[in-house]
Amino acid sequence: MEGMRRAGTSKARPSKRKFSSYSRLHQVLAEFDDDSEAVEPKVVAASAPTKSGPGRHPQGCLLRIQQAVLNHSKTFRVMFPLSHPEGKGTSDDNPIHLPDDPEHFCGAPSEYHGPTVMPHPDKPSVEYIVGVLRVARKYGFALAEEWALRALRTEFSVGSRQWQDALARPSREDIQRSLVLLRLAQQEGGLDDFLGAALYLLCTEETWDEDECLYGGMHIQDASRLAQGTRRLYRLSGSKSTVGVGWRSFIRTKEVIEEVITAMAP
């Protein structure tokens, strides 16, 4: 890598270790057994907002959320008709049971309560953002869906400043969050718009690519796409047009980004 950064006639090329590590990763993951058992979701009992104050707890529990907030959801407007004040969800003894993670569920009405009453985490995890997106889409919380999509675009969009900064100097956390997004995309769906940026970041980093704790659980399909992108990146780096171009400048070139991401498309 040092040779690539010197001025002169050197070409921008990834290290041989980088290229071989993904080939090895692909071979290992080809034997991965994808028939793992699904994890049973937590159950949260959400009671109607007849008592003041929203609740939040990391375990399955009762959540008291104001009906004015829940009315932003078409689903909950049906659950809480004004003509049936004693219906399901109107007391702690008669809650509505929801198969959602309580923390993710609370993230949806957070957009309506405001950051003071029910704030999001200071630096939300990818699991949290995707979880809020899932809840928002499921129950029709439009503002929560907008928040989650905005958070994902900020981190996993090739045009965002945050992604460009990560591309220039990726941290272990940057790589881990990209891998988490890939894993969740295999389970969730609806995240395709963000996968190209995540995969490209993994293609170009050379610090953590042999960390089995990070890459060991990658799905075979993602490993295959990553190998395809790395091969395309390697070929592009050997072209005559890269003479005298440093590695970091090369991988931030718009044409290179677009071609490699296209090569990794499903």
- pLDDT value of position 262: 96
Does 249 or 152 have the greater pLDDT score? 152
Check if the beta carbon of residue 174 is closer than 8 Å to that of residue 166.
yes
Q: Which of 157-161, 167-171, 203-207, 261-265 has the lowest mean pLDDT?
A: 203-207
- pLDDT value of position 191: 94
Considering the domain boundaries, does residue 63 fall inside one? yes
Considering the domain boundaries, does residue 211 fall inside one? yes
Residues 50, 148 within the same domain: yes
Residues 190, 104 within the same domain: no
Beta-carbon contacts of 188 under 8 Å, excluding residues fewer than 6 positions away, are 130, 134
- Per-residue HEC secondary structure of the chain comes to CHHHHCCCCCECCCCHHHHHHHHHHHHHHCCCCCCCCCCCCCCEEEECCCCCCCCCCCCCCEEECCHHHHCCCHHHHHHCCCCCCCCCCCCCCCCEEECCCHHHHHHHHHHHHCCCCCCCCCCCCHHHHHHHHHHHHHHCCHHHHHHHHHHHHHHCCCCCHHHHHHHHCCCHHHHHHHHHHHHHHHHHCCCHHHHHHHHHHHHHCCCCCCCHHHHCCCCHHHHHHHHHHHHHHHHHHCCHHHECCCHHHHHCCHHHHHHHHHHCCC
Residues 139, 180 within the same domain: no
- Give the global pTM: 0.74
Residues 188, 147 within the same domain: no
Mean pLDDT of 181-199: 94
Residues 118, 175 within the same domain: no
Residues 160, 220 within the same domain: yes
Considering the domain boundaries, does residue 114 fall inside one? yes
What backbone phi and psi angles, to 5 degrees, belong to 102?
A: -55, -40
- pLDDT value of position 102: 87
Mean pLDDT taken over the chain: 77
Residues 164, 245 within the same domain: yes
Mean pLDDT of 26-55: 36
User: Residue 86 is part of which domain span?
Assistant: 44-153
C-beta atoms surrounding 22 within 10 Å: 22
Considering the domain boundaries, does residue 69 fall inside one? yes
**43 vs 59: CA distance, rounded Å:** 9
Does 77 or 155 have the greater pLDDT score? 155
Residues 170, 249 within the same domain: yes
Does 186 or 59 have the greater pLDDT score? 186
- Tell me the per-residue pLDDT of 69-95, one tens digit each, with 9 for 90 and over: 888 888 887 776 654 556 667 777 777
Residues 172, 142 within the same domain: no
Considering the domain boundaries, does residue 99 fall inside one? yes
User: Band of the pLDDT at 216, cuts 50, 70, 90?
Assistant: confident
Considering the domain boundaries, does residue 19 fall inside one? yes
Residues 199, 120 within the same domain: no
Considering the domain boundaries, does residue 39 fall inside one? no
Kindly tell me if the per-residue pLDDT of 263 is higher than 80.
yes
Among 94, 127, 153, residue at a domain's last position: 153
